[in-house]
């Protein structure tokens, strides 16, 4: 199945189907990763206020623009509003700070990072404390309706500060609620998606409404910290995947990415290793057969690798927590300082 290099958004702009993920990229490494990615042909960079790396990404992008290697309008930048910035009075202020850090006049796609808001008590500090906690380690959450946050994000589009807005880490009911009530419809949903957790129902839900679907953790996020979810062997160790990769003379990571892309899903592989960054982009020169797609479909475990344990079990009962059923498998987290 042929794969288009970009996905058309509801606003008419195109979003490249392969982006560089930057979560967990250490300060001092992410800038070089962005430089390598842009030189390799990437035109989509995914970040977030919560990653604390927007400034370094902005420096790398500005450098490449000044060198004449890329034009700003050819690079698609996604960033995400911190959960501690979701109060309506904070949304524009936080957006302007992201624009300053990214050294750009506009953001291509701006997402609500998670539907559960966090106290903004430490946001005025430098650097901002985006994850204040109680003594028991649970995050200090607040009770801001994501719809109220959304209304403010719509104003950002009106002002030209943001071109498209979307959501991350929401369930189907939350997405539907925003979609029905929004003046500007969600252009994109970004959620965990990989061969063990393929999200068929959610992907179909988005497709029917013209919402672009992005996958984080598309190769199983082998570097995710223990606080995020269950300890498992790497997804890339699946024998069936190794066999398919060998047949195509590709890496297992490339097979996993291609599988999602053939489903029309935008992929956001993260790496700071130059060879892997380049390899993850070399996914347009082969095709998985229908039989191979079915084999990959057969390894589905409906296994969430990201279970947000760092929120603390008490917050699994928060009215906007998207998956309260995760409380049954909750394992005490280590704190956000581990992320």
Alpha helices of the chain — where are they, by DSSP H?
30-40, 54-66, 88-102, 146-159, 172-181, 200-209, 239-248, 252-262, 274-281, 290-297
CA 304, CA 252: separation in Å to the nearest integer?
Answer: 20
Q: Could you give the angle at which helices 30-40 and 54-66 cross, rounded to 10 degrees?
A: 40
Q: Which regions in the chain score pLDDT beneath 50? A: 334-339
**Contact criterion met (CB below 8 Å) for 139 and 315:** yes
- pLDDT, tens digit, 9 for 90 and up, residues 275-305: 999 999 999 999 999 999 999 999 999 999 9
The active-site residue out of 42, 51, 216, 311 is 51
Q: Is 51 an annotated catalytic residue?
A: yes
pLDDT for res 335: 42
CA distance 40 to 207: 30
Q: In the prediction, which pLDDT does 225 show? A: 82
Which residues make beta-bridge pairs with 55? Answer: none
What integer pLDDT is reported at residue 332 of this predicted model? 65
Q: Are 188 and 9 in contact (CB under 8 A)?
A: yes
Q: Are strands 6-8 and 14-16 parallel, antiparallel or unpaired?
A: antiparallel
Domain boundaries, the chain: 6-330
CB atoms within 10 A of CB 12: 8
Q: Which residues pair with 162 in a beta bridge?
A: 107
CATH of 6-330, one of 1.10.3720.10, 1.10.1740.10, 3.20.20.100, 2.60.40.10: 3.20.20.100
CB within 8 Å of 90: residues ≥ 6 apart? 120, 123
């Amino acid at each position: 199945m042929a794969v288009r290099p970009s996905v058309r958004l509801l606003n008419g702009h195109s979003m490249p189907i392969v982006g560089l993920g930057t979560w967990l990229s250490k300060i001092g490494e992410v800038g070089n990763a962005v430089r390598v990615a842009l030189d390799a042909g990437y035109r989509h960079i995914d970040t977030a206020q919560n990653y604390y790396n927007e400034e370094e990404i902005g420096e790398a992008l500005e450098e490449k623009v000044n060198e004449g290697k890329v034009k700003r309008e050819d690079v698609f930048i996604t960033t995400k509003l911190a959960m501690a910035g979701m109060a309506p009075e904070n949304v524009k202020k936080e957006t302007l700070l992201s624009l300053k850090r990214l050294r750009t006049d506009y953001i291509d796609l701006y997402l609500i990072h998670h539907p559960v808001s966090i106290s903004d008590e430490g946001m005025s500090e430098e650097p901002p404390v985006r994850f204040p906690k109680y003594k028991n380690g649970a995050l200090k959450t607040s009770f801001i309706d994501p719809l109220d946050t959304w209304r403010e994000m719509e104003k950002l589009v009106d002002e030209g500060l943001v071109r498209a807005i979307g959501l991350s880490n929401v369930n189907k009911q939350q997405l539907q609620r925003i979609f029905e009530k929004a003046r500007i419809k969600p252009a994109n949903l970004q959620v965990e998606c990989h061969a063990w957790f393929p999200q068929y129902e959610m992907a179909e839900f988005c497709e029917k409404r013209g919402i672009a679907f992005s996958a984080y953790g598309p190769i199983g996020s082998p570097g995710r910290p223990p606080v995020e979810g269950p300890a498992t062997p790497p997804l890339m160790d699946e024998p069936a995947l190794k066999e398919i990769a060998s047949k195509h003379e590709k890496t297992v990571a490339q097979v996993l990415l291609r599988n999602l892309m053939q489903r029309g899903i935008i992929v956001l592989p993260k790496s700071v290793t130059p060879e892997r960054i380049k390899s993850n982009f070399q996914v347009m020169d082969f095709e998985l057969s229908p039989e191979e797609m079915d084999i990959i479909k057969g390894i589905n475990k409906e296994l969430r690798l990201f279970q947000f344990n760092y929120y603390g079990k008490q917050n699994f009962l928060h009215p906007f927590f998207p998956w309260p059923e995760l409380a049954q498998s909750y394992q005490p987290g280590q704190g956000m300082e581990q992320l």
